[in-house]
Amino acid sequence: MNPLLDLSGVTVTVPSAEGPRRLLDGIDLSLAPGEALGLVGESGSGKSMTMRAVTRLLPRGAAVSGAVRYDGAEVLAMDAGALRRYRDHEVGLVFQDPRAHINPTRRIGAFLVEALVRNRGVGKREALARAAAVLAEVGIDDPQRRLRQYPHEVSGGMLQRVMIASVLLAEPRLILADEPTTALDVTIQREVVTILDRLRRERGMGMVFITHDLDLALAVCGRVAVMYAGRIVEVRTAAGLHERAAHPYTLGLLGSRPSIDARSARLEAVPGRPIAAYEAGAGCAFAPRCLFAMEACDRTAPPLRAFDDGLVRCSRVEEIHAARTEATA
Amino acid sequence: MARLLLHRLGGLVTTLLLSSVVIFGSLYLAPGSPENVLFGNRTPSAAARAAVRHRLHLDQPLPVRYWDWLTGVLHGDLGTSMVTGQPVADRVGSGLGTTALLVLFASLLVVVLGLGLGLLGAVRPGRLDGAVSAVSAVSVSVPPFVAATVLISVFAVRLGWLPASGRGNGLDGLVLPAVALALLSCGFLAQVTRNAVGEQLGREHVQTALARGLPRAAVLRSHVLRNALPPIVTAIGLLVAGMFASTLVVESAFALPGIGQLTIQSVAQKDFPVVQAVALLLVAAFVICNALSDLVQALIDPRLRTAGRTA
Ligand SMILES: Nc1ncnc2c1ncn2[C@@H]1O[C@H](COP(=O)(O)OP(=O)(O)OP(=O)(O)O)[C@@H](O)[C@H]1O
Ligand SMILES: [Mg+2]
């Protein structure tokens, strides 16, 4: 099947006082229609920037190279009109902090119907009726009343549902969810993820789900890509990643998940501080923190290559794999 | 919203009452008796002075005089000028039109130019923004009396395009005074607008609007500008109020027969009833400008509407 979304060699550079800074370094990713892909990595690894490259919502002065193909069309080459149609009809964004991402001065109803009314010429009354129906679908009681309320009058969890409803209203084929639950109460997080997951499946939409939480990504997504310093370092099915993660960074992330039995022993599994893409040297960006790094790792950057049914960016992956298999055997 | 309106209205009345007490009290407690104005350089006999004081009700206690004056004001009677003997209302009324027109004219200049320049600077970063910043930085450093002097010497004296003093024909006489009054405020409003709009442009909710494929012009109007308005409206309220005060200087410089000039004259002549009336009018202008700007803000931002309940 042709991919719905296909990124190849996407590199983003922004200007800074010390010269151009590379934030993304040759991102290769692909998503089939209806597939859910998790994008995982520590803070600053470029997860949000990848999503911004997909929608061309980049910081001012940013230069982007490579290719972002949506359903065969090159997003980076779209003119203003085509880009607006693409953003309106094809992709829907769910952001981390709905309070900041929804205009606080306008009613929830106005927020929900704005795109329908302005971009597609749907009548106000008709648009509001549709909005109420979708609010009910995301589990909001008394939608008519909610439509008249202002964002500050409802809870964060409710507002995130409103955000999800706004995306569903546009009926896109791709959802980009950037840490949609990080800003919410722990008790609400599960509910919101469940709703997002259910509605996505029902409507056959593709989704890129960005999160810090590897467990959550494994639960919600069929496939997971791991990012480090503006690069993809491993891509694998959720089941495969759970059982046969190959990259030392992924192994570290799996080890650093707080688990009930050995919390204190495992938290420090990836020692050191994450770096941004522009801080990386000529070699492997993860080498300075890697338990398996050798001299050669500092000199040449490994490519992303096929290994054990997945993709891995590590020169020593075979050796590490062999050693691990031996140790557990 | 209705509650907030009532709340603001109450505040407005209270402020006006309090300031009327302060104005009344400070004028009559100031050194020099009011009736001296009438005697000029002559030294009156004790009997003559007492007669005059009685006629002006100056022999009554201050609270009684204040009460008389206040009830007079509430019935539309502002008293009589000590200098010309005309009703104060007539003297004030004849200048009011000129001053109102002047401030209106200047406010239009401020809103159109200040808002326009600020917006331009915010949405066109780079050279244009640099130019806007430079122009506004210069204009905020030119106080009205300097602007008046320069404008008179260039446009009235050297070029002879517009009158240097008086009302002239139609609006001719108001052009230079309005520019002198508006210059500093224009620059200030441009800076406030540029910062407020620039800040909103970087906001997450604006990113959301763009991510939904809304046209840039619509995003600028319904999200950026709309949300940037509260500080801009506050600035406009303060600036317009300030312009009422600056009319004292500008009307005197251009010899415009308005409230500002009347204030300066009456203070110099110690014509207390007139001073009282114009001072109260200036305070009212100030208070009304601020109340209006608060109300507009509550209309824009629903989070401000509960203010009346908590205050
Ligand atoms: N507007 C910007 N201008 C310049 N650099 C930026 C900008 N936004 C982000 N960056 C930098 O780009 C890099 C990647 O940031 P990004 O926001 O994509 O990280 P992230 O993986 O989403 O992290 P988090 O988990 O904290 O959201 C970081 O080094 C960050 O400092
Ligand atoms: Mg992020």
Asked whether A22 lines ligand 1 (CB < 6 A), one says no
Position A258 scores a pLDDT of 54
Instruction: Express each pLDDT in B36-47 by its tens digit.
Output: 766 767 777 888
Lowest-confidence range among B79-83, B98-102, B287-291? Answer: B79-83
Q: Give me the residues of B, 125-144, that contact A with CB < 8 A.
A: 125
Cβ pair B111, B239 in contact under 8 A: no
Listed residue (A17, A47, A62) closest to A276, CA to CA? A47
Query: What is the distance between the alpha carbons of residues B243 and B266, in angstroms, rounded to a whole number?
Result: 20
Q: Is A106 helix (H, G, I), strand (E, B) or coil?
A: coil
pTM: 0.84
B168 vs A86: which has the higher pLDDT: A86
Q: For the domain that residue B161 is a member of, what is the CATH number?
A: 1.10.3720.10
CA separation, residue B124 to residues A289, B96, B194, B211 (Å) = 43, 41, 10, 21
Q: Assess if residue B287 is contained within a domain.
A: yes
| A67–chain B nearest CA distance, Å | 19
Strand segments, DSSP code E, in A172-244 are 174-178, 206-211, 223-228, 231-237
- SS3 call for A45: coil
Average pLDDT, chain A: 90
A276 Cβ closer than 6 Å to some ligand 1 atom: yes
Inter-residue contact B188 to B240 (CB < 8 Å): no
Cα separation, A88 vs A272, in Å, equals 41
For residue A199, give the 3-state DSSP assignment. helix
What are the Cα distances from residue A272, in Å, to A245, A251, A253, A268, A269? 20, 15, 13, 9, 10
B215 vs A57, A84, A93: nearest CB: A84
Q: What whole-number distance in Å separates Cα of residue A119 and Cα of residue A166?
A: 14
What's the whole-number mean pLDDT along residues A286-291? 90
* ipTM score assigned to the predicted complex: 0.89
Better pLDDT: A139 or A264: A139
In a domain, B109, yes or no: yes
Span A101-136, pLDDT tens digits? 999 999 999 999 999 999 999 999 999 999 999 999
Are the CB atoms for A27 and A9 separated by under 8 Å? Answer: yes
Looking at chain B, which residue has its C-alpha nearest residue A51?
B211
* Alpha helix (H) residue ranges in chain B: 2-29, 36-39, 46-55, 62-74, 88-109, 115-123, 127-139, 144-151, 172-201, 204-211, 216-219, 226-253, 259-269, 272-300, 307-310
A232-262 confidence digits (pLDDT tens): 999 999 999 988 889 999 988 887 665 544 4
Domain that holds residue B148: 88-305
Nearest CA, atom 18, ligand 1: A46
Calpha distance B235→B230 (Å, rounded): 9
CB A270 within 8 A of CB A231: no
Give the span between the Cα atoms of B131 and B137, in whole angstroms: 10
In a domain, B218, yes or no: yes
- pLDDT above 90 coverage of chain A, percent: 68
Q: Is B173 part of a structural domain of the chain? A: yes
Give residue A269's pLDDT band: very low, low, confident or very high (50, 70, 90): low
Q: For the purposes of burial, counting CB atoms within 10 Å of the CB of A2, is it exposed (0-12), middle (13-18) or buried (19 or more)?
A: exposed
Separation of A29 CA from ligand 1 center, angstroms?
A: 18
CA of A292 to the centre of ligand 2 (A): 28
Confidence band, pLDDT 50/70/90 cuts, at residue A13: very high
Q: What is the DSSP string of B248-305?
A: HHHHHHTT--SHHHHHHHHHHHT-HHHHHHHHHHHHHHHHHHHHHHHHHHHHH-GGGT
Identify the sign of the CA torsion A214, A218, A220, A221.
Answer: positive
Report pLDDT digits (tens) over B180-219: 999 999 999 999 999 999 999 999 999 999 999 999 999 9
Residue owning the nearest CA to atom 27 of ligand 1: A43
pLDDT at A111: 96
Do B223 and B205 form a contact (C-beta atoms < 8 A)? yes
User: Are B72 and B78 within 8 A, CB to CB?
Assistant: yes
For residue A257, what pLDDT is reported? 60
As given in the structure block, the two tokens for residue A301 are: 């950057």
In chain A, residues with a C-beta closer than 8 Å to the C-beta of B203 are: 100
Tell me, what amino acid is at B89? Answer: A
Q: How many domains does chain B have?
A: 1
- Phi first, then psi: give them for residue A20, nearest 5 degrees: -60, 140
Within 8 A of A166 by CB-CB distance, chain B residues are 212
Helix, strand or coil, per DSSP, at residue A27:
strand
Q: What is the pLDDT of residue B199?
A: 94
Q: Which CATH superfamily is domain A5-102+151-327 in?
A: P-loop containing nucleotide triphosphate hydrolases (3.40.50.300)
Query: What is the per-residue DSSP string for A129-179?
Result: HHHHHHHHHTT-SSHHHHHHS-GGGS-HHHHHHHHHHHHHHT--SEEEEES
A43 lines ligand 1 (CB under 6 A): yes
CA-nearest of A327, A250, A248 to A292 is A248
